[in-house]
């Protein structure tokens, strides 16, 4: 079989596993240092950041006129530095990190033990691993992916742990598997994931909604992209699903997915998310009165931290016992579950009243390869719904359960704002600007999903919605929260303060980069949800103030608090989002009365390039947040080249990164200083 170095090759799963600045590529030309401050991996922050990197990648570049077909990972800064960083680096860093977590590292519980897998295995009278193997074969057939081309020794997870050590524990198999193109070769680690495990002893075996929810956000966005259309079975070319006739796609020479390889990956991600949501619904909801953990019920919610004791199985670890170590409801956990559940609901939605259903998704969830929902669960009458474990029903259950908790435990109606935490019985008093702003975005996505509007990459597309009660409630809350930001959280200097105390009726005097990110993100989301220009105008003013007061030309980065420039994954992901929104929604147009230079498209793109090269890639091989990179971003493997940096940039190959055997391609916190 011949492997190609392409722009979107994707990574299929292992069947055997379930059976066993300057715009120059050299840097930003700054004297500042970008030192890594911690080599531990934070799942929630990384997956959130990489979700924003994804949206700020190919979709953004294409929306601004870039021809994705001319982008080449082996040709840095071509046709422009912005197109390359957005279309190649930001996008592919995002994809590779997701695979690292859910397929390679082992950072969680194995899909063999997923509840949907276990249920079907018991019904068929076979072992879980046999059932999962047959599922993979069935999914491969549905997308036209030969089973013998599925990668080996994968570790698919159905739910992910909160943290771990991203250093590899053994020498990576970087020797040649097959010839590639242009003097490169395919390393064994591309087709066999067995040497890519992280230390299980160093994993924080804790289930935190922001962590498994953030991972689900990545999975759902990519699954929606990969399965959002059909393709020709012979040519592998993408086909508009709306042009297909009724009846089996195979009878028309078509297969599911935008291509065979991407389609297979979409199938695996969908299987993982389905099993994750089933486990969440049936095992992770908490009753604060009885202190019991179990199935979703009225008044229950997802607690902040559940500790897992594993059963000791070496190959397929499963849960032996679970205990709640932190029973609080945290807003960050809730919005990082609401957003991805909304994305996945947009895929699985089978309501007969929804006129906007993607016909490609309809084929994925029509019973083959994923089960369809009972008809009574998809009609307009909710009183006749029945219990079911199908993808639509379980997603609908979790989605509404999380939304209800946000309303009940985090919404302060008197203030018109969301508080950051609840002990289960009583609300806290702090409104955090970053968390509140992102809650607005999560509610916007919830409103779109529950009303049957497009989500995923098409979340800005106009359509006629279903006008649900829940959608109206979400919109009302997000509008009030946006107004609260406008009226209460912006100081006389035009910057957002970081918090507000509802008990003291007092805003903080502290301004941080995260506060600006949250306010801009929330106000822009409110504009997109309502089309009210006052929110866009306010977001534009905030962006200009942030650029003027927080950008440090010497550091080539934004100051994060006071004179400090310290970045964790949540902060860098937020910066990526704000720069994207500035280019998509806030930049100067001929209709704007004021046109600050900071909001010229060229100025925003320059910030994007400079910031990414300085903070993410780093000024040297030992610096920057991106710990390593794989071949998708140009660092191909060549015979006779042991540099570990064949593309000559400032990000090393996996095996040449920090540590004895190297480090995974993930984000690490840094401090930027002179």
Determine, yes or no, domain membership for 290: yes
Exposed / middle / buried, residue 125 (Cβ in 10 Å: 0-12, 13-18, 19+): exposed
> CA-to-CA distance for 334 and 301, rounded, in angstroms?
9
The predicted model scores a pTM of 0.95
Closest residue by Cα to residue 540 from 588, 591, 497, 576: 588
CB 437 within 8 A of CB 418: no
Give the 3-state secondary structure of residue 329: strand
Q: How far is CA 417 from the centre of its chain?
A: 25
Q: Specify the number of domains making up the chain.
A: 1
- Locate the DSSP E strands across 242-288: 254-256, 285-287
**Adjacency order of strands within the sheet including 637-638:** 176-179, 184-187, 637-638
Neighbours of 316 (CB within 10 A): 18
CA quadruple 437, 440, 444, 449: dihedral, nearest 10: 110
Determine, yes or no, domain membership for 138: no
Task: Calculate ∠ Cα 288-289-291, nearest 5°.
Answer: 60
> CA-to-CA distance for 426 and 410, rounded, in angstroms?
9
Could you read off the pLDDT of 446-488 as tens digits, one per residue?
Answer: 999 999 999 999 888 888 999 999 999 999 999 999 999 999 9
Structure tokens at 135: 């599922």
Q: How far is CA 300 from the centre of its chain?
A: 26
Determine, yes or no, domain membership for 619: yes
> CA-to-CA distance for 72 and 110, rounded, in angstroms?
35
CB 263 within 8 A of CB 226: yes
Closest residue by Cα to residue 12 from 276, 204, 261: 261
Structure tokens at 28: 């930003």
Q: How far is CA 229 from the centre of its chain?
A: 20
Query: What pLDDT, on the 0 to 100 scale, is given for residue 33?
Result: 98
- Cβ contacts of residue 201 below 8 Å, gap of 6+? none
Please measure the distance between the N-terminal and C-terminal CA atoms of the chain and give it in whole angstroms.
50
Query: What pLDDT, on the 0 to 100 scale, is given for residue 12?
Result: 32
Query: What pLDDT, on the 0 to 100 scale, is given for residue 30?
Result: 60
**Adjacency order of strands within the sheet including 305-310:** 206-207, 305-310, 319-326
Query: What pLDDT, on the 0 to 100 scale, is given for residue 567?
Result: 98
The 3-class SS string of 417-464 reads: EECCEECCCCECCEEEHHHHHHHHHHHHHHHHHHCCCCCHHHCCCCCC
Query: What pLDDT, on the 0 to 100 scale, is given for residue 16?
Result: 32
Q: What is the domain range of residue 225?
A: 33-107+161-245+281-457+469-673
Query: What pLDDT, on the 0 to 100 scale, is given for residue 31?
Result: 86
- Give CA separation, 111 vs 13, 50, 89, 279, 574, in Å: 12, 22, 29, 11, 31
> CA-to-CA distance for 443 and 478, rounded, in angstroms?
7
Q: Among all chains, which residue has been given the structure tokens 């953004």?
A: 60
Residues of the chain with pLDDT under 50: 1-28
CB 663 within 8 A of CB 654: yes
Determine, yes or no, domain membership for 54: yes
Task: Calculate ∠ Cα 98-608-627, nearest 5°.
Answer: 40
> CA-to-CA distance for 423 and 77, rounded, in angstroms?
50
Structure tokens at 477: 């809350």
Neighbours of 240 (CB within 10 A): 10
Determine, yes or no, domain membership for 22: no
> CA-to-CA distance for 668 and 666, rounded, in angstroms?
7
Is the N-terminal amide bond of 172 cis, ω within 30° of 0?
no
CB 184 within 8 A of CB 638: yes
Q: Among all chains, which residue has been given the structure tokens 């199985």?
A: 313
Closest residue by Cα to residue 217 from 377, 82, 332, 378: 332
């Amino acid at each position: 079989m011949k492997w190609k170095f392409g722009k979107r090759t994707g990574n299929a799963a292992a069947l055997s596993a379930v059976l066993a600045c300057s715009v120059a590529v050299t840097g930003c030309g700054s004297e500042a240092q970008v030192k890594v401050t911690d080599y531990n991996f934070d799942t929630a922050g990384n997956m959130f950041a990489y979700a924003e990197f994804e949206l700020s990648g190919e979709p953004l570049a294409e929306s601004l006129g870039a021809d994705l077909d001319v982008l080449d990972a082996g040709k840095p800064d071509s046709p422009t530095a912005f197109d390359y960083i957005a279309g190649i680096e930001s996008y592919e860093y995002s994809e590779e990190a997701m695979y690292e977590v859910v397929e390679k590292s082992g950072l969680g519980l194995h899909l063999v033990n997923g509840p949907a897998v276990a249920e079907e295995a018991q019904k068929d009278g076979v072992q879980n691993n046999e059932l999962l193997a047959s599922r993979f074969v069935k999914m491969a057939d549905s997308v036209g992916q030969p089973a013998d081309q599925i990668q080996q020794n994968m570790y698919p997870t159905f739910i992910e742990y909160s943290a771990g050590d991203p250093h590899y524990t053994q020498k990576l198999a970087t020797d040649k598997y097959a010839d590639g193109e242009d003097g490169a070769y395919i390393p064994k680690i591309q087709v066999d994931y067995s040497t890519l495990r992280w230390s299980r002893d160093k994993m924080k075996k804790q289930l935190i909604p922001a962590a498994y929810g953030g991972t689900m956000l990545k999975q759902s966005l990519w699954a929606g992209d990969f399965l959002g259309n059909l393709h020709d079975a012979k040519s592998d070319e993408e086909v508009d699903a709306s042009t297909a006739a009724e009846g089996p796609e195979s009878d028309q020479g078509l297969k599911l997915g935008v291509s065979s390889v991407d389609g297979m990956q979409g199938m695996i991600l969908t299987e993982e998310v389905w099993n994750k949501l089933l486990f969440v619904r049936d095992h992770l909801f908490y009753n604060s009165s009885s202190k019991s953990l179990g199935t979703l019920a009225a008044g229950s919610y997802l607690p902040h931290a559940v500790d897992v004791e594993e059963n000791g199985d070496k190959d397929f670890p499963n849960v032996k016992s679970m205990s709640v170590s932190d029973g609080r409801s945290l807003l960050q956990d809730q919005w990082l579950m609401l957003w991805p559940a909304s994305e996945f609901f947009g895929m699985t939605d089978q309501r007969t009243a929804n006129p906007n259903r993607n016909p490609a998704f309809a084929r994925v969830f029509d019973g083959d390869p994923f089960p369809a929902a009972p008809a009574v669960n998809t009609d307009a009458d909710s009183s006749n719904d029945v219990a079911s474990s199908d993808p639509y029903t379980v997603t609908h259950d979790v989605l509404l359960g999380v939304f209800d908790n946000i309303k009940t435990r985090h919404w302060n109606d008197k203030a018109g704002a969301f508080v950051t935490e609840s002990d289960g019985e009583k609300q806290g008093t702090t409104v955090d600007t970053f968390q509140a702003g992102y809650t607005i975005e999560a509610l916007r996505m919830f409103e779109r999903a529950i009303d049957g509007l497009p989500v995923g990459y098409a979340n800005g597309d106009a359509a006629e919605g279903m006008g649900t009660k829940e959608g109206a409630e979400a919109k009302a809350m997000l509008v009030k929260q946006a107004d609260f930001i406008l009226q209460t959280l912006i100081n006389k200097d035009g910057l957002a303060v970081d918090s507000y105390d509802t008990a003291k009726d007092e805003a903080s005097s502290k301004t941080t980069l995260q506060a600006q990110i949250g306010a801009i993100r929330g106000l822009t989301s409110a504009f997109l949800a309502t089309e009210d220009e006052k929110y866009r105008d306010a977001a534009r003013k905030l962006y200009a103030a942030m650029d003027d007061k927080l950008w440090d030309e010497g550091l080539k980065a934004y100051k994060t608090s006071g004179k400090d420039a310290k970045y964790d994954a949540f902060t860098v992901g937020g910066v990526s989002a704000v720069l994207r929104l500035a280019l998509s929604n806030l930049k100067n147009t001929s209709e704007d009365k004021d046109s600050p230079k900071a909001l010229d498209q060229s100025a925003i793109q320059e910030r994007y390039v400079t910031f990414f090269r300085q903070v993410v890639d780093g000024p040297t091989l030992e610096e920057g947040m991106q710990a390593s990179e794989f071949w998708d971003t140009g660092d191909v493997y060549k015979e006779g080249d042991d540099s570990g940096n064949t593309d000559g940039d400032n990000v090393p190959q996996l095996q040449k990164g920090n540590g004895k055997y190297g480090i995974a391609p993930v984000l690490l916190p840094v401090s930027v200083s002179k």
